[in-house]
Each structure stands twice: as structure tokens, then as C-alpha cells.
């Protein structure tokens, strides 16, 4: 391996490490200033910035760079080869790629490279070159495929809008221009990617894109709000406490605001007919159901899944049909709405109520 490849090997890892804490670029001791020194620093900083942009472009847009980065991520974090989890991950990426591709064909220019790593924290990330990874620890908190798909759809939203590269430039650029010492490789190596440079508008954009992607996929759109309700149930309203998923920005939105943003979109999808308040689902402002908690899912979390099914039914024209019970499942036309579990009213009772208020 030649010197250039060795240097790129080191910078690739520094550019892409998304679970480690960021290390701030040190500022050199300031000597007695002179016009020559200042001009030299500016020129050096501009040159370093250009080199940084060149390296970011290499790992972000070239197939050679993307694959090299993926290999280093795998080496750094390890690979979980669990058969069932990887089959599920393949299925999610297949579904989401088709959903995104239906409105943004550029996804096929840089297909996502992904794997499950061995980290135990609750996280997933998208970095340069559409490289994505899911922590094994995420599965300790999420066991519902629809909710996992929301997490990945959010990260793919970042990828589709090139937020990792933009965030890297935003985070590193000023430091490099201010320092103008050493090499750009050293500057990049000293600023490990951990969501640095992401802004609140970027987080909102990724959230909103995730809703669009999920709505075009086979997944329940209610999972968008449900996953944030789950985070709130586990960790409260401030995602900085324990759960850092989908909150790379330093000034990130609160968990409740993200849930409520999705709930508003679900109401809009239903034509303004379906809402949720304190775990109870309402149709046309009339109470439909308060789902019982089940299988580690709270009543409030489950309510958003019911909301998503109802919103899809209204959007797709199924609400014109009568609701009926198919075994323990309430159907509205061809759309399943809720499957009764212990603690719920019977499917027949819920179907009758739905017909009265829909």
C-alpha cells in the first residue's frame, strides 16, 4: 500500500466514526502576529480546506472510496452476522430503497452499504458515501420491524440530502481555516464524526423525509409517531438523556415534538379525521379505542399504530367500506386496523363502534 493509500486509510476512519466522542481540533499557540504570518495562515487554511473537500468527495461519491470506508467501518466496529436480524435488515433496505426510488431515483446512483455492528448502545448512523450501520444494541430496545424501518428511513433521509458531507464540512471547515497548521489529514483525524455539524433543520428534514418514505413503503405510517412514543416511555422527553438515536444535532428537537410532528402528518393523511390523545384514538372527534398495552408496548405507543392503519385506510379509500371482524382483527375494507389482545374490547365490538363514527 503506497503512502497516499495509507493516509486515506487513516482519514477514512476519522471521517466516518459516528459513535465515538468528537475530539476538538486543537488551536496552535498564537505567536506575535504580523501581516505576513496572517496572510500565510489564510493561504494555508484555504489550501487545507480544499484538501478536506477533496477527501470528503472521494469517500462520499466514488465507489472506491465508499467501499474502502465500509471496509474500515466493519473492521473498527465488528460485524454481527445474526441470520434473522440480517434478513430483516435486507428486507427493510429493499422496501425503503423502492419507496425512495419511486420519488428520488438518485438512490440508485449510490446504493446504501450497510451492516449490523457489535456496539451495544441504542444507535444507527449514516455517514459518507451512503454507508450505514445499525448497532446490535438497537435491537434491545426495538423489536418491531416497522419502528426499525422508521429509524433507518430517517438516516436515509440524511443520506439522500447529503447531510453527512455537509455536516462534516460545516464542523471541520472553520477549524481548519483557523488552524492552518499541519495537514488536513491531521485536522480531520482530530475531529471524529459523531453527528457533528448536523443542524436542527437537518434533523427536521430527515424526519419529514422518513414519513414520506415510510408512507410509500409496506410499513405502518403510524410507526413514525409510535417509535418516538416508545423513546419517551423509555427515556422521557429529552433524547440527550440515554437515547441518542436520530438526534445528531447539538440543538436537536425534543422527543415529544418529533412524535407530535408525525401525529399531525397522520391526521392530515386521514383527511383530518383521526387523532390520538393520551393513548386514546379518536375518529371525527369521537372515541374509538384505547388499546391495551401488550408485549412491551404501552397503550400510547400502540395507539399510534392504530392511528396509522386508520390514516392509511382513509388515504387509500378503504373507509368507504364497512368495518368488520375477521377473527380477532378489525378490518376496514382491505385494511387491518387493530388486532384485539387481552385487555381490548372484542373485534366485533370495535368494528361496530368504528361503523358508527367513521
DSSP code per residue over 251-268 = TPPPHHHHHHHHHHHHHH
Q: In what order do the strands lie in the sheet with 323-326?
A: 323-326, 329-332, 335-339
- Does 16 share its domain with 130? yes
- Does 266 share its domain with 167? no
Whether 249 shows a pLDDT value over 90: the answer reads: no
For 277, the domain range is: 220-357
**CA separation for the pair 150, 146 (Å, rounded):** 6
- Does 153 share its domain with 26? yes
- The per-residue pLDDT for range 38-75, each reduced to its tens digit, is 445 445 556 667 777 888 898 899 999 899 889 988 98
**CA separation for the pair 161, 250 (Å, rounded):** 19
- The per-residue pLDDT for range 127-173, each reduced to its tens digit, is 889 999 999 999 999 999 999 999 999 999 999 999 988 888 877 76
Give the pLDDT of residue 53: 84
- Average pLDDT rounded to a whole number, residues 330-351: 98
Query: Mapped to the 3 state alphabet, what secondary structure does 120-168 carry?
Result: CCCCEEEEHHHEEEEEHHHHHCCCCHHHHHHHHHHHHHHHHCCHHHHHH
Categorise residue 298: left if φ over 0, alpha if ψ from -120 to 50, beta otherwise.
Answer: beta
- Nearest CA among 137, 353, 136, 315 for reference residue 220: 315
Query: In this structure, is residue 335 part of a structural domain?
Result: yes
**CA separation for the pair 329, 331 (Å, rounded):** 6
- The per-residue pLDDT for range 67-119, each reduced to its tens digit, is 988 998 898 899 999 999 999 999 999 999 999 999 999 999 999 999 999 99
Last residue of a domain, one of 172, 203, 234: 203
Whether 194 shows a pLDDT value over 70: the answer reads: no
Query: In this structure, is residue 209 part of a structural domain?
Result: no
Please report, for residues 36, 38, 42, 45, 175, the alpha-carbon distance to residue 31 in angstroms, rounded to integers and kept in the order given.
Answer: 12, 11, 15, 17, 18
- The per-residue pLDDT for range 302-328, each reduced to its tens digit, is 999 999 999 999 999 999 999 999 999
- Does 193 share its domain with 292? no
Specify the number of domains making up the chain: 2
Give the pLDDT of residue 159: 96
**CA separation for the pair 302, 316 (Å, rounded):** 21
Give the pLDDT of residue 247: 55
- Average pLDDT rounded to a whole number, residues 258-267: 98
Q: In what order do the strands lie in the sheet with 286-289?
A: 274-277, 280-283, 286-289
- Does 194 share its domain with 268? no
Across the chain, mean pLDDT equals 84
- Average pLDDT rounded to a whole number, residues 179-196: 46
C-alpha torsion sign, points 325, 326, 327, 328: negative
DSSP code per residue over 291-353 = PPPBTTB-HHHHHHHHHHHHHHHHHTTGGGSPEEEETTEEEETTEEEEE--TTSPPHHHHHHH
- Does 171 share its domain with 249? no
pTM for the whole structure: 0.85
- Does 166 share its domain with 303? no
- Does 47 share its domain with 160? yes
The grid coordinates listed for 129 are 458515501
Amino acid at each position: 500500500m503506497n503512502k497516499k493509500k495509507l493516509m486515506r486509510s487513516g482519514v477514512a476512519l476519522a471521517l466516518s466514526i459516528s459513535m465515538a466522542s468528537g475530539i476538538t481540533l486543537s488551536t496552535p499557540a498564537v505567536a506575535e502576529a504580523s501581516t505576513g504570518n496572517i496572510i500565510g495562515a489564510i493561504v494555508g487554511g484555504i489550501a487545507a480546506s480544499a484538501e478536506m473537500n477533496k477527501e470528503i468527495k472521494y469517500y462520499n461519491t466514488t465507489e472506491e472510496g465508499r467501499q474502502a470506508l465500509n471496509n474500515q467501518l466493519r473492521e473498527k466496529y465488528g460485524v454481527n452476522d445474526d441470520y434473522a436480524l440480517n434478513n430483516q435488515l435486507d428486507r427493510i433496505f429493499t422496501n425503503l430503497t423502492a419507496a425512495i426510488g419511486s420519488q428520488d431515483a438518485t438512490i440508485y446512483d449510490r446504493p446504501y452499504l450497510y451492516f449490523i455492528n457489535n456496539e451495544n448502545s441504542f444507535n444507527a448512523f449514516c455517514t459518507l458515501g451512503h454507508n450505514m450501520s445499525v448497532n446490535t444494541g438497537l435491537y434491545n430496545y426495538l423489536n418491531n420491524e416497522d419502528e426499525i424501518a422508521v429509524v433507518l428511513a430517517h438516516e436515509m433521509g440524511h443520506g439522500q440530502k447529503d447531510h453527512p458531507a455537509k455536516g462534516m464540512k460545516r464542523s471541520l471547515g472553520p477549524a481548519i481555516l483557523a488552524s492552518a497548521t499541519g495537514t488536513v489529514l491531521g485536522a480531520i483525524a482530530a475531529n471524529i464524526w459523531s453527528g457533528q455539524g448536523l443542524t436542527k433543520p437537518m434533523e427536521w428534514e430527515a424526519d419529514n423525509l422518513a414519513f414520506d418514505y415510510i408512507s410509500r413503503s409496506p410499513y405502518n405510517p403510524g410507526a413514525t409517531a409510535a417509535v418516538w412514543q416508545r423513546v419517551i416511555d423509555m427515556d422521557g422527553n429529552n433524547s440527550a438523556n440515554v437515547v441518542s438515536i436520530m438526534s445528531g444535532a447539538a440543538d436537536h428537537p425534543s422527543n415529544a415534538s418529533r412524535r407530535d410532528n408525525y401525529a399531525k402528518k397522520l391526521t392530515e393523511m386521514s383527511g383530518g379525521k383521526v387523532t390520538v390523545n393520551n393513548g386514546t384514538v379518536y375518529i371525527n372527534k369521537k372515541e374509538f379505542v384505547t388499546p391495551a398495552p401488550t408485549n412491551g408496548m404501552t397503550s400510547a405507543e400502540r395507539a399510534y399504530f392504530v392511528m396509522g392503519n386508520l390514516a392509511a385506510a382513509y388515504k387509500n379509500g378503504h373507509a368507504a367500506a364497512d368495518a368488520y371482524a375477521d377473527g380477532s382483527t378489525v378490518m376496514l375494507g382491505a385494511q387491518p386496523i387493530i388486532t384485539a389482545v387481552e385487555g381490548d374490547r372484542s373485534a366485533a365490538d370495535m368494528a361496530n363502534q368504528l361503523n358508527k363514527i367513521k
